[in-house]
Amino acid sequence: MKAIAKTQISELLNQVAREYNVLVPVAGADKYAPYTPGIELKLNSRTLLPPKDVFFPQTEKMYKFSTDGMEGSLDSLLTTPKPQLLFGIRPCDVKSIHCLDHVFLSKGFVDEFYAAKRDNTFLISIGCNGPAESTCFCQSMGINPQDTDEVDVHLFDLGSQYGVVPKSAKGEAFVAKYAALFAETTEEVPAVAEFTLNLELDGVSEKLAQMFEHPLWEEVSRKCIGCGACTYLCPTCHCFDVSARVAGTQGFRFRCWDSCMFSDYTRMAGGHNPRPSKKERVRNRFLHKLQYFPERYGDSLCTGCGRCLSKCPVNMDITNIIKQVREVDLV
């Protein structure tokens, strides 16, 4: 396997920054941000904010318009970004991009705003040799914390260096292009350290399909304050609102992240709301993650990144809910 010394990462990033807009995990801000030489990287764990905004920004203008009395016109604001390189994403977040691809690129309609950025982004992942945080449970969600195939280049953490493995044709070309920075190593990838948070997921999706009316939802939703923090931190939550800003005769329509935890989310003109209370909203969120999305796309919509359980102000915990679901005795 090829390898690069960890001390050489900044040199690699300096070089690739000539070709790409490079996005790196930044310490402090705890999110992915443009690389600048000397910026402090967070390479020992996932970032608090997931990388979904690289493809699906928190707010994104879709088209601008102008109006003049009864007249009006509009122009798409779709742009193709400069090639970008997303460096250092963890296997859990790689899986989340796979989930977002299902949503934005399949079922007959390609979301051109997402596709423009996704097609133009080169992915380099870094494996975890164990749980990076006490809230990590990716392994229980069927993810290999150390390795992933759905990137262009993957880096194995070998202590003082990263093992470099191309995972796509583009990745092969990349490794060849920057070969001067890589040396051969015989070092082995270490065994994965044991996770402290472990779940049994077998049959949970099927069981949930029979639990729509179960009193569990009333119980677990009681403490939710509907703040939506879980949905903003979630790497796979992709719901959005479409709204407009108008100033005089000019305006633009944009989309922005929305949350299924908000009461207005499903409220229709006229007032009818199919999910009127916390119970329906919390139930929908967990069923979407664990039953509806698997039914629709064949993948869980939870990657086990642990962000929601680490930051929920009232300690809502999807792992705990999964455990409770497993304990339910369906008569």
Partner 1 sequence: MTQVAVAENPVSPLVPIVGKIIKIVTETPDVKTFHVSTPDGNKPFTPAPGQLGMLSLLNVGEAMFSITTQGPNHLEFAIKKTGVLTDALHESEVGQTVAVRGPYGNGFPIEFCKGKDLLFIGGGIGLAPVRSLINYCVENRDDFGKLQVIYGSRSPADLVFKDDILTNWPQVRDMQVDLTVDRGDDTWQGNVGFVPAFIEQLAPSPEGDKVCILCGPPIMIKFCLQSLAKLGFKNENIITTLEMRMKCGVGKCGRCNIGSCYVCLDGPVFSLAQLQTMPPEY
Positions touching partner 1 (CB under 8 A) are 62-63, 65, 67, 70-74, 76, 78, 103-104, 107-113, 212, 238-242, 244, 246, 251, 253, 255, 258, 260, 265-270, 272, 274-275, 280, 284, 287-288, 291-293, 295-296
| 330, 211 Cβ separation under 8 angstroms | yes
Distance CA 9, CA 36 (A): 13
Is 161 or 284 the residue whose CB approaches partner 1 more closely?
Answer: 284
| 229, 311 Cβ separation under 8 angstroms | yes
User: With helix as H, strand as E and coil as C, how does 7-40 read?
Assistant: HHHHHHHHHHCCCCEEEEEECCCCEEEECCCCCC
CB of 261 to partner 1, least distance (A): 12
Is 182 or 257 the residue whose CB approaches partner 1 more closely?
Answer: 257
CB of 89 to partner 1, least distance (A): 22
Distance CA 192, CA 130 (A): 5
CB of 171 to partner 1, least distance (A): 28
Is 7 or 73 the residue whose CB approaches partner 1 more closely?
Answer: 73
CB of 81 to partner 1, least distance (A): 17
CB of 226 to partner 1, least distance (A): 15
Q: Cα(first)–Cα(last) distance of the chain, in Å?
A: 54
Is 70 or 180 the residue whose CB approaches partner 1 more closely?
Answer: 70
Is 60 or 133 the residue whose CB approaches partner 1 more closely?
Answer: 60
φ and ψ at residue 231, rounded to 5 degrees: -75, -30
CB of 311 to partner 1, least distance (A): 21
CB of 232 to partner 1, least distance (A): 14
Distance CA 28, CA 41 (A): 9
Sign of CA dihedral 102, 318, 94, 239: positive
CA-angle at 152, arms to 148 and 157, nearest 5°: 50
Distance CA 223, CA 54 (A): 32
Distance CA 69, CA 249 (A): 9
CB of 88 to partner 1, least distance (A): 27
Is 112 or 188 the residue whose CB approaches partner 1 more closely?
Answer: 112
Is 135 or 231 the residue whose CB approaches partner 1 more closely?
Answer: 231
Is 159 or 270 the residue whose CB approaches partner 1 more closely?
Answer: 270
Number of H helices, E strands in the chain: 11, 12
CB of 258 to partner 1, least distance (A): 7
Distance CA 100, CA 237 (A): 8
Q: Which of 274, 250, 248, 252 is nearest to 263 (CA)?
A: 274
Is 30 or 60 the residue whose CB approaches partner 1 more closely?
Answer: 60
**CB half-sphere exposure, 208, CA atoms < 13 A:** 25
